[in-house]
Amino acid sequence: MLFRKLDVLFFIFAFLVDLAANSLLNKLIRQSLVESSHHVEVLQKDPSSPLYSVKTFEELRLKEELLKGIYAMGFNRPSKIQEMALPMMLAHPPQNLIAQSQSGTGKTAAFVLAMLSRVNALELFPQCLCLAPTYELALQTGRVVEQMGKFCVDVQVMYAVRGNRICRGTNITKQIVIGTPGTVLDWCFKRKLIDLTKIRVFVLDEADVMIDTQGFSDHSIRIQRALPSECQMLLFSATFEDCVWRFAERIIPDPNVIKLRKEELTLNNIQQYYVLCEHRKDKYQALCNIYGSITIGQAIIFCQTRQNAKWLTMEMIEDGHQVSLLTGELTVEQRASIIQRFRDGKEKVLITTNVCARGIDVKQVTIVVNFDLPVKQGEEPDYETYLHRIGRTGRFGKKGLAFNMIEVDKLPLLMKIQDHFNSIIKQLNAEDMDEIEMIDY
């Protein structure tokens, strides 16, 4: 009998402890949610923040169904780039625009709004064309169109990406086409599925790579040249090297320009660190120490080669971590499934190459690791890729951490990156767990 009573008491006690733990957990979760949305609101009122704006979406004179779509996505106010770019993009007659704004500040949302505003739902042929450098990014942008345009009945999106096979002679009735340059070129010129003379809005996302990288640029420029003179051309990126900017201004007739100053390129909400390491194994150990000491939302780890990415994946799996690997050699189906699983939080860590450096928007990513620094041929730092990679965290004002694993002989490259952006990359001792745990984010 006494045992029975003790059992019951123990059960009640365990239940209460459980309740208390749950309630504390819930409190913490709610608190961090409230804090982060409050934080964004504060940033949107701070004139020096890229999220600042004086206007509301109503004042931007958007169509009613678009306003509903925006509010359904949880957007309250436009960001700076949205506030500045939208009046130019929606003006009559249409105006061309080359625009730069930091990673994760709402460029995609801005040009998607422009496409959705210009489309005529009653005309059943492609009217807006958006080019993106990767399959993943094209799909992601298409999803934003679908979400934001959910109240624009009869407006539909078509994906011109590898793997989406459609027969010659098919009549494409969808009004917005999002694709990668190779497939779009094929659909326009070889298979004659898209009539470029009917395109009203042409968007080049990640415009600097699209006009400057071998392979992309031949295709993108050929498509751009075949567009009618009245077609509105919109170029967006977080980075534009000077020479690329000059080239863009030459190929785009009479453009409006929104350009950042160099000191505005990096975001204060992303704290950057580096860890000095001897060799690859050492980098891996440092990574494990950081991983073990910091509560990670989700993390993206960048390697410079597929080989390194594979090696790291094997090491982490052998040590019992649940990670996924995304590189360009996978089939499109595999790539789509991996990125979806990561978005759904099924894997906490994504190991990848530069294929995911740009544009990918997964809000829960709190940490970016450069397992290898991005370099150009000739062992120069690839400044633009560095900025895009770290911009996978700290989306729309959230806090983020970026860690660089640096072999001693690569330290000068990191210092060049630091000088280039005039930002602070602090050294971290990855063996000092206390130091790691003290990072405030």
Ligand X SMILES: Nc1ncnc2c1ncn2[C@@H]1O[C@H](COP(=O)(O)OP(=O)(O)OP(=O)(O)O)[C@@H](O)[C@H]1O
- Chain residues binding ligand X by CB under 6 A are 75, 78-79, 82, 101, 103-109, 238, 359, 361, 363, 391, 395-396
Cβ proximity to ligand X, 74 vs 378, nearer residue: 74
Cβ proximity to ligand X, 81 vs 323, nearer residue: 81
Cβ proximity to ligand X, 108 vs 298, nearer residue: 108
* CB distance 83 to 226 below 8 Å: no
Cβ proximity to ligand X, 107 vs 283, nearer residue: 107
Cβ proximity to ligand X, 79 vs 180, nearer residue: 79
Closest separation between CB of residue 239 and ligand X, Å? Answer: 9
C-beta pairs of 22-30 under 8 Å, 24+ apart in sequence: none
Closest separation between CB of residue 103 and ligand X, Å? Answer: 4
Q: How far apart are CA 357 and CA 368, in angstroms?
A: 10
Name the nearest CA neighbour of 301 among 358, 231, 372.
Answer: 372
Closest separation between CB of residue 297 and ligand X, Å? Answer: 14
What's the maximum distance between 2 C-alpha atoms anywhere in the chain? 91
Q: How far apart are CA 44 and CA 41, in angstroms?
A: 5
Cβ proximity to ligand X, 129 vs 207, nearer residue: 207
Closest separation between CB of residue 187 and ligand X, Å? Answer: 24
Q: Which residues 6+ apart lie within 8 Å of 197 measured at CB?
A: 226, 227, 228
Query: Computed from CA positions of residues 313, 418, 39, 137, in that sequence, does the dihedral angle turn out positive or negative?
Result: negative
Closest separation between CB of residue 88 and ligand X, Å? Answer: 16
Closest separation between CB of residue 353 and ligand X, Å? Answer: 17
Cβ proximity to ligand X, 97 vs 194, nearer residue: 97
Q: How far apart are CA 117 and CA 309, in angstroms?
A: 41
* CB distance 371 to 303 below 8 Å: yes
The owner of tokens 């359904």 is 72
Cβ proximity to ligand X, 347 vs 384, nearer residue: 384
Token representation of residue 369: 């690791």
Name the nearest CA neighbour of 226 among 284, 286, 277, 185.
Answer: 185
Closest separation between CB of residue 144 and ligand X, Å? Answer: 7
The owner of tokens 């094997």 is 314
Cβ proximity to ligand X, 102 vs 289, nearer residue: 102
Name the nearest CA neighbour of 319 among 285, 368, 345.
Answer: 285
Closest separation between CB of residue 84 and ligand X, Å? Answer: 13
Residues shown for the chain: 441
Closest separation between CB of residue 315 and ligand X, Å? Answer: 28
190-220 burial: b if 16+ Cβ within 10 Å, else e:
eeebbebeebbbbbbbbbbbbbbeeebbebb
